[in-house]
Amino acid sequence: DQQVKQNSPSLSVQEGRISILNCDYTNSMFDYFLWYKKYPAEGPTFLISISSIKDKNEDGRFTVFLNKSAKHLSLHIVPSQPGDSAVYFCAAKDGANSKLTFGKGITLSVRP
């Protein structure tokens, strides 16, 4: 039973355009959400996070939106750059546990 779902396995966008990566979750106890970026043969790298008390967090080109009623979050990257091409993982935790629950990831390709 997947508690964090990234239903699209891949996304391709043109350089300079916006990339929107989606994530859905089922566990209403999740209170903190993170996005990680992963290049081949490397470990995931933390990108941005959001607490459940907020609905938006922005860091440079990256913005994460959280819709708690829909149990949905999204990562916006604008403008997209070829170096953003990687696998992006959505992850979540609940207050009672320190472990992260990850989605399966989405492969983003940014075309020059």
Cα 6 to Cα 25, 60, 75, 96: the distances in Å are: 9, 23, 12, 23
Q: Which stretch binds other proteins (CB under 8 A): 13-21, 57-65, 71-79, 87-95?
A: 87-95
Distance, CA of 46 to CA of 55 (rounded, Å): 19
Count of residues that interact with other proteins, criterion CB under 8 A:
25
Spatial separation of the C-alpha atoms in residues 43 and 102, rounded to whole Å: 14
Considering the rule CB under 8 A, would residue 10 count as an interface residue with other proteins?
A: no
Per CB under 8 A, does 62 bind other proteins?
A: no
Q: Does 103 bind other proteins (CB under 8 A)?
A: yes
Rounded CA separation 65/71 (Å): 11
Residues that bind other proteins (CB under 8 A): 4, 6, 32, 34, 36, 41-46, 49, 51, 89, 91, 93, 97-105
